């Protein structure tokens, strides 16, 4: 069932006329005939949860906006940068008007003055296409002054980032929009509150997929949405499937679909007859889980992921097959967070730097006996002590890989002083990919300390 990836059922839905002919803007039209508060209640009743990662009730988020404030904003989070995530891009490329419609419903519900779509800078071509769609929406009277004679004015703009993962964090996104460094803000005040949002005004920040889900809810009613998925995780979700998988891509399925169905029925299983070893359900930022039968039979919902010690996040599912060296994978993820740490909070800035250094040392066969304890300890000291979730995210690849695959780390820690040969011969070595751990090629992701932290430039 495709509520979001409708191009799979309707060719050319990226064109305005095709979108309009297939129920496009019906939800928005309905909303414009309702009181704004009723629109919020409708979305609340649908149980729609934020698709950017946190899974917070979208309607609830909207209801936090103080209606007494004259200026309010909507910021669309299209900064999609989590390794393994490529769903928002597909929505915007193939069904752009649905995002525009959803964002407008949100804007009407909170009576926003303007909508800013914050696109990651690399979505350069996409931004130009979206600008054309926004222009068309103005021409059709969905945007501008006194929209549909409601007395409400609203504008919509795109804004291109310039390559910073942190700008997907909502308060950093707002700073970046304001022309400041994309670093997170101290909260409270939260974005929904006066003083916490864009230019200090109450602001709703929602992910592309969240907003693109809204037109269906308004058009068909929340009860129809609640029929899909589970009680606590209603609706469909786009699962980004990548890594060692036969058919990588985006799959829109009801929440509650199991890993097994997703990976084997839809994704075609693991290539080259290999076995599945582990799953990263939420890109690099969520804890890894070994692909046991119990895990594979777990329904993909916000509530069930907690039971297996991970998170659904944005459902960027990276599959690792049996040949993958977990320490190498942890190193790759650590390099990512090291590069992307914004440098504001000490535990994250210093922690990612040292994690990267010590893992490199381990993989180069120069580890010290207590290195595994050392990185575990560094990671523990990054959790819950930073302004945004990136500190926790950066700790996850280390804490969860050591928890589930301690023997692979130990093998590296012991592989020093003349045990080099043993290491290259171990099954963990990534000879299948032509990458041996510790060689420069296998660590192409490495940055020198002097250029690694953006803020350090």
Partner 1 sequence: MTLQQKYTERIEKALAKYPDKRSAVMPVLHIAQEEYGWVSPEAIIEVAEICDMDPTQVKSIAGFYTMYSKHPKGKYWLQVCTDLPCALRGADQFYQELLDYLGVEDHGTTTDGLFTAEHVMCLAACDKAPMLQCNFHYQESLNMEKMKSLIEEWRAEAQKK
Q: Which residues bind partner 1 (CB under 8 A)?
A: 80-86, 88-89, 116, 120-125, 157, 159-165, 176-182, 199, 240-244, 248-250, 280, 284, 316, 318-320, 324, 329, 332-333, 336, 339-340, 342, 433-435, 441-442, 444-445, 454-455, 457
Query: What contacts 2, CB < 8 A, 6 or more positions away?
Result: 8, 9, 236, 252
Residue number, 178 or 223, with CB nearest to partner 1: 178
Q: Which helix (H) or strand (E) holds 95?
A: none
3-state SS, one letter per residue, for 31-83:
HHCCCHHHHHHHHHHHCCECCCCCCCEHHHHHHCCCCCCCCCEEEEEECCCCC
Q: How far apart are CA 196 and CA 189, in angstroms?
A: 5
Shortest reach from residue 41's CB to partner 1, in Å: 31
Residue number, 2 or 41, with CB nearest to partner 1: 2
Residue number, 217 or 327, with CB nearest to partner 1: 327
Shortest reach from residue 280's CB to partner 1, in Å: 8
Q: How far apart are CA 80 and CA 85, in angstroms?
A: 7
Beta strand segments in 209-267, E: 236-243, 249-254
Residue number, 182 or 347, with CB nearest to partner 1: 182
Q: Which helix (H) or strand (E) holds 451?
A: helix 449-452
Residue number, 151 or 440, with CB nearest to partner 1: 440
Shortest reach from residue 368's CB to partner 1, in Å: 26
Shortest reach from residue 306's CB to partner 1, in Å: 23
Are 172 and 182 a contacting pair, CB within 8 Å? yes
How far from the centroid of its chain's Cα atoms is residue 169's Cα?
10
Shortest reach from residue 47's CB to partner 1, in Å: 28
Residue number, 192 or 320, with CB nearest to partner 1: 320
Q: How far apart are CA 115 and CA 126, in angstroms?
A: 17
Residue number, 155 or 232, with CB nearest to partner 1: 155
Q: Which residues pair with 237 in a beta bridge?
A: 253
Shortest reach from residue 180's CB to partner 1, in Å: 8
How far from the centroid of its chain's Cα atoms is residue 364's Cα?
32
Residue number, 47 or 391, with CB nearest to partner 1: 391
User: How do beta strands 236-243 and 316-321 pair?
Assistant: parallel
Residue number, 42 or 396, with CB nearest to partner 1: 396
Query: Sign of dihedral through CA atoms 97, 30, 52, 159?
Result: positive
Least Cα distance to 457 among 33, 162, 184 occurs for 162
Shortest reach from residue 198's CB to partner 1, in Å: 9
Are 411 and 423 a contacting pair, CB within 8 Å? yes
Shortest reach from residue 123's CB to partner 1, in Å: 8
Shortest reach from residue 429's CB to partner 1, in Å: 14
Tell me whether the omega of the peptide bond preceding residue 399 falls within 30 degrees of 0, making it cis.
Answer: no
């Amino acid at each position: 069932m495709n509520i979001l990836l409708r191009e799979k059922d309707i060719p050319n839905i990226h064109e305005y006329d095709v979108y309009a002919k297939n129920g496009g803007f019906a939800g928005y039209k309905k909303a414009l005939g309702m009181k704004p508060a009723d629109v919020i209640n409708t979305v609340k009743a649908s149980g729609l949860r934020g698709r950017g990662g946190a899974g917070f009730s979208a309607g609830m988020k909207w209801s936090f906006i103080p209606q007494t404030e004259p200026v309010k904003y909507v910021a669309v989070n299209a900064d999609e940068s989590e390794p393994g995530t490529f769903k928002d891009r597909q929505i915007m490329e193939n069904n752009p008007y649905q995002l525009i419609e959803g964002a407008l419903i949100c804007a009407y519900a909170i009576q926003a003055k303007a909508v800013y779509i914050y696109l990651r800078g690399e979505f350069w071509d996409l931004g130009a296409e979206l600008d054309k769609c926004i222009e068309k929406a103005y021409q059709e009277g969905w945007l501008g002054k006194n929209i549909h004679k409601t007395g409400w004015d609203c504008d919509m703009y795109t804004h291109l980032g310039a390559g910073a993962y942190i700008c997907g964090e909502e308060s950093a996104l707002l700073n970046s929009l304001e022309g400041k460094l994309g670093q997170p803000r101290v909260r409270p005040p939260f974005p929904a509150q006066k003083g916490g949002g864009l230019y200090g005004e109450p602001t709703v920040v929602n992910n592309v997929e969240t907003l693109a889900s809204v037109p269906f809810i308004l058009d068909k009613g929340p009860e129809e949405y609640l029929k899909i998925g589970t009680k606590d995780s209603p609706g469909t979700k786009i699962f980004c499937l990548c890594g060692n998988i036969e058919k990588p891509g985006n799959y829109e399925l009801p929440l509650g679909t199991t890993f097994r169905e997703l990976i084997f029925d839809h994704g075609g299983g693991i290539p080259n007859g290999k076995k599945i070893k582990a799953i990263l359900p939420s890109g690099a930022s969520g804890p890894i889980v070994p692909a046991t039968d119990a895990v594979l039979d777990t329904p993909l919902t916000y509530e069930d992921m907690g039971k297996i010690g991970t998170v659904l996040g944005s459902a960027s599912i990276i599959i690792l097959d049996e040949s993958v060296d977990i320490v190498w994978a942890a190193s790759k993820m650590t390099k990512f967070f090291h590069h992307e740490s914004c440098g504001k909070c000490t535990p994250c800035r210093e922690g990612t730097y040292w994690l990267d250094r010590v893992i490199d040392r381990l993989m180069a066969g120069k580890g010290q006996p207590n290195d595994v304890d050392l990185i575990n300890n560094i990671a523990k000291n990054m959790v819950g002590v930073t302004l945004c979730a990136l500190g926790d995210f950066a700790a996850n690849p280390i804490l969860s890989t050591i928890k589930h695959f301690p023997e692979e780390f130990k093998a590296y820690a012991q592989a020093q002083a003349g045990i080099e040969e043993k290491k290259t011969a171990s099954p963990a070595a990534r000879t299948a990919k032509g990458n041996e751990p510790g060689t420069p090629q296998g660590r192409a992701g490495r940055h020198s300390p002097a250029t690694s932290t953006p803020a350090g430039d």
